[in-house]
Amino acid sequence: MKLRMTLGTLLAFLFILTQCKPKAAELAGDTYPISAASGSAFSIDTEKSIIKWTASKVTGKHNGTVKLKSGSVNAKGDSVTGGSIVIDLPSIVNIDLEGTPYKAKLEGHLKDTDFFEVGKFPEGFFEIASITADDKGGLEARGNLTLKGISKGISFPVAIVFADGKPVSAKGTATINRQQWGIVYKGMPDDLINDEIILDFDLVTKI
């Protein structure tokens, strides 16, 4: 009887521990549900943070950056519990064509109706739904990315650095299908554009 009670107590304790672990958000339709974040809020340093983008086509690829307008993350202990960023889409620039007349042409095209239509949609958004351990010993971020007024749930691996109990920086790489956000321009018939865009998030907080 004593052994049974001890075993039962242990199993109950283990059950409580597993219930206390952060759970990965599950898609509810096209997006993940967003819960109220707990813990303290830390502002994103928009001068030190950046999103790098890479897009490819038949004849090669292009890459560049886009800045953030604002953002914050919530953390409790050594866990990020929520957060969001505002993406400054008119700031999108190309890097690989630097010093050529094609740089300005591409940047103008990215800002028009074929792509991000920044005159009508000057801001993009990413809101964290959950950050949990993945099956490889790392972390996985799940959240909702909004571009051109369309929100879709995405997930990708992230690495988060804490110092003195505060989130210092976070990096992650997401691959998205632009068609899901209404970016459907195919490119030239002999130089079709890949639907996949790679987004490298490099975020630094103000602490």
Q: Encode pLDDT of 107-142 as tens digits.
A: 999 999 999 999 999 999 999 999 999 988 899 999
Alpha-carbon distance 133 to 131, whole Å? Answer: 7
- Predicted model pTM: 0.88
Structure tokens belonging to residue 20: 């206390």
Q: Encode pLDDT of 139-162 as tens digits.
A: 999 999 999 999 999 999 999 999
Alpha-carbon distance 191 to 58, whole Å? Answer: 5
